[in-house]
Amino acid sequence: MSNASVGREAQALAAVRSTLAEETGASEADIARVARSKARRRRQLVLLARVLTLVVVIGGWQLFTALKIVDPFFFGRPSGIALKVRDWVEHGTAYGSLWLQLGVTMKEALLGFGYGVSAGIFVGIVLGQNRFLADVVGPYIKVLNAIPRIVLGVLFIVWLGLGTASKVMLAAVLVFFVVFFNAFQGVREVDRNFVANARVLGASRIQIVRHVVVPSALTWIIASLHVAFGFSIIGAIVGEFLGAQRGLGLVIATAMNNFDPNGVWAAMLIIAVIALAAEALITQLERRLLSWRPKSAAESAGS
Amino acid sequence: MAARGATNMSRDSDLEVSGAERSRIDIVRVTKRFVTPAGAAFTALENIDFTVEPGQFCAVVGPTGCGKSTTLGLVAGLDRPTAGVVRVGGQAVDGITQGISFMFQNDALLPWKTVLGNVALGPTFRGASKKDAQAKARQWLRIVGLTGFEDHHPHQLSGGMRKRVSLAAALINEPSILLMDEPFGALDVQTKAIMSNELLSLWERTRPSVLFITHDLEEAIALADRVVVMTAGPGKVKGVYDIDLPRPRGAVQEIRFEPRFLELHHQIWESLREEVERAYARTVTASPAKGVRP
């Protein structure tokens, strides 16, 4: 095929296109406007339904407890929870100010998260790179993963005492396995062509890990961070629950022992707010680090 | 050409081989067997014997599953032969071969790096500073006609553009040998023709030895000086044909109507057809359990 014929075809195509545009051009703006208002209406509807759901659930809860259909002594009530939170904010908990408890729990959770993630990524990459080592320790890791690790918290308290160390340890152990399995899988999934190409181009082992393996596994690792952060909070709270001198877990345990369901709910509410904030931060991090990824169909559809 | 060879030499100054000889590939009675994890042995290559002269464009054609890619891996030093020896520049391959570049069928561009970052990988891995590597990468992107796309990511480019990036990334190290594993196999016919022409003109600038794998006989004859026909599993060399079409070849889509081209095509196809049919019959009857790529 010669260039001339290609050129002619392109010209003909362009002509067809411009005619089409003239015919439809007038209505194009209308179509866009209708589509936009449709999309806006749908968003408003979703928002309205969400608010309604909340009102029905919370309002129903309040109503049923007020009518004594549900016993507020066992189930608490929304107004009681709100008062409890206010009380904590204004007068502090039995163990000092609310912010102190929150700070202690967050410190434990974040330290545990940091240690667990670092260890998980490191071990995941080392084992992912070394098939022999992975085959040797594989079954043991499966066994460790199978034991209910929450129970380890009891041992950690015996070993490390009632202070923060035991909670950090428990959080780190919970986080480690989540991150490790993802990092390991991520390293295993690295395209062999990428590695072969880097080797041929003269990359050293370290350079391959840095330029090929880690970025490739990052998708997997970051996906695990969402779950991992939740686990780190669980680790800290459960650790405090089992035995501590400070922290939200201790506050919850005390509320439970005092038959104060409002206190348990209030503490849960506070934790949920923190977890949501952390989730938003991790999503931001994910966007930043994985900006190279093509938008998935769902994302580009604007959901 | 001798002068260019000398620049390639500078990395291995202890080797007293002339620049041209650096890019010679000798594959001598090479056999490659794989052992599956279950313990079954599978012979991919059996007693392969052929030579790529310095600066020669050599195409290897054969049916699916004849061990073509395995051969490239051996030359690159990614894998070792079970028997026989692969020599590059007179030296037995041991570890990653110096001075080669590889182009894969599915381009090995890193999706998380920009076009510029991908092309700059070669110099970066060889210890160039970031600035130097990027300057060189820009220069190569200009050569392949992709100025202005430096900050794009590979997924934002068309198939043909990605191939150009791969070409730039492969040539930036100024290899004395270029290994290509069905590089244009996934492209549509038009893009493939354009890329073939581009490859030829780039190759004629620096004249590395090329080992080019394809299952497309027309492509092989249009591009190569030498065509090696391989049989299906275990891979053996069935015939080696020197292509005496004059260079520069010009547009690959036109050369295929020349009488000499048709003559060569007819001659080599006779030899290849039998193998293709045999390989095809095998895929129809037997289960494709052998997990080794062509």
Among A193, A201, A292, the residue with its CB nearest the CB of B111 is: A292
Name the residue facing B110 among A194, A196, A202 (closest C-beta): A194
**Looking at beta carbons, which residues of chain A come within 8 Å of B121?**
198, 201, 203, 211
CB B8 within 8 A of CB B173: no
Q: By the 8 A CB rule, do A230 and A175 touch?
A: no
Mean pLDDT of chain A: 85
User: Which of B78, B125, B153 is closest, CB to CB, to A203?
Assistant: B125
More confident residue, B7 or B245: B245
Min CA distance, B74 vs chain A (Å)? 12
Which chain A residues are closer than 8 Å to B112 by Cβ? 215-216, 218, 290, 292-293
SS3 A196: helix
Alpha carbon distances (Å) from A3 to B188, B232, B251: 17, 39, 11
Whether residue B246 is preceded by a cis peptide bond, meaning omega within 30 degrees of 0, is: no
More confident residue, B229 or B250: B229
- How would you label A17-42 residue by residue, b for 16+ Cβ within 10 Å and e otherwise? eeeeeeeeeeeeeeeeeeeeeeeeee
Q: Give the C-alpha separation, B217 to B59, whole Å.
A: 9
Q: Is A289 near chain B, with CB under 8 Å? A: no
For the domain made up of A77-300, give the CATH fold: MetI-like fold (1.10.3720)
Q: A193 and B110 in contact by Cβ < 8 A?
A: no
Using a CB–CB cutoff of 8 Å, tell me whether A4 touches chain B.
no
Q: Is residue B10's pLDDT more than 80?
A: no
Tens digits of per-residue pLDDT, B53-96?
888 999 998 877 778 888 888 998 888 888 889 988 888 888 88
Give the long-range contacts of residues B282-289, CB within 8 A, separation 24 or more: B282/B232, B282/B233, B283/B64, B283/B65
Instruction: Look at residue A136 and tell me whether its pLDDT is greater than 80.
Output: yes
Comparing B4 with A64, the larger pLDDT belongs to A64
User: What proportion of chain A, given as a percentage, has pLDDT over 70?
Assistant: 88
Q: State whether B108 and A191 contact (CB < 8 Å).
A: yes
Q: What percentage of chain A exceeds 90 in pLDDT?
A: 30
Complex ipTM more than 0.85, yes or no: no
User: For residue B6, what pLDDT is reported?
Assistant: 41
The residues in A 171-200 lying below 8 A from B, measured between CB atoms, are 191, 193-194, 196-200
Of A193, A212, A292, Cβ closest to residue B104: A193
Query: Tokens standing for B175?
Result: 């290899």
Share of residues in chain B with pLDDT > 90 (%): 8
Burial class (CB in 10 A: 0-12, 13-18, 19+), B282: middle
pTM for this model (two decimals): 0.74
Interchain pair B96, A199: CB under 8 A: yes
Closest CA to B277 of B243, B234, B244, B231: B231
| Band of residue B42 on the pLDDT scale cut at 50, 70, 90 | confident
Residue A204 touches chain B, beta carbons under 8 Å: yes
Q: Say yes or no for a CB contact (<8 Å) between A202 and B122.
A: yes
Q: B121, A211: Cβ pair inside 8 Å?
A: yes
* A·B CB contacts under 8 A: 68
For residue B166, the chain A residues in CB contact (below 8 A) are: none
Q: Is A286 on the interface with B (CB under 8 A)?
A: no
Q: What is the CA radius of gyration of chain B?
A: 19
User: What residue type is A110 in one-letter code?
Assistant: L
Decide: B47 and B30 in contact? Cβ < 8 Å: yes
Query: Which pair of tokens denotes residue B117?
Result: 């970052």
CB pair distance less than 8 Å for B76 and A215: no
Show which residues on chain B lie within 8 Å of chain A, measured between beta carbons. 73, 76, 78, 96-97, 100-102, 104, 106, 108, 110-113, 121-122, 124-126, 153, 155-156, 169, 173, 179, 190, 253
Buried-state track B50-65, b at ≥16 Cβ within 10 A, e below 16 = bebebbbbbbbbbbbb
Residue B177: closest C-alpha in chain A: A200
Q: What is the pLDDT at residue A120?
A: 94
Encode pLDDT of A16-49 as tens digits.
666 655 555 557 788 888 889 999 999 999 999 9
Minimal CA separation from B122 to chain A, in Å: 5
Closest by Cβ to B125, choosing from A198, A215, A292? A198
Closest CA of chain A from B76, distance in Å: 7
- Residue whose pair of structure tokens reads 């071990």 in the numeric block: A123
The H-or-E segment that residue A116 falls in is: helix A98-129
Residue from the list B101, B155, B156 with its beta carbon closest to the beta carbon of A200: B101
Euclidean distance between the first and final Cα of chain A, in Å?
A: 45
CB contact under 8 A, B113 and A198: no
Nearest-neighbour CA in chain A from B123: distance (Å): 8
A292:B108 CB<8 A: no
| 3 state SS of B233 | coil
- The answer to whether the peptide bond before residue B123 is cis (omega within 30 degrees of 0) is no
Please tell me which of the candidates A196, A201, A215 has its beta carbon nearest to residue B122: A201
Which residues of chain A neighbour B108 with C-beta distances below 8 Å? 191, 193-194, 196-197
Please tell us whether the domain made up of B2-91+212-285 is placed in CATH 3.40.50.300. yes
The overall average pLDDT reported for chain B is 82
A51-69 pLDDT, tens digit per residue, is 999 999 999 999 988 888 8
Helix extents (H) in chain A: 3-66, 72-75, 78-91, 98-129, 131-146, 152-160, 164-188, 192-200, 205-208, 214-242, 248-257, 261-289, 297-300
Percent of chain B with pLDDT over 70: 89
Q: What does the alpha-carbon distance between residue B101 and residue B167 come to, in Å, rounded to a whole number?
A: 9
pLDDT at B144: 87
CB–CB of A207 and B125 under 8 A?
yes
- DSSP letter at A209 equals I
- Residue-wise pLDDT for B16-35, tens only, equals 445 567 788 898 898 988 88
Cα A214 from Cα B130, distance rounded (Å):
20
Tell me how far apart the alpha carbons of residues B270 and B275 are, in angstroms, rounded to a whole number: 9
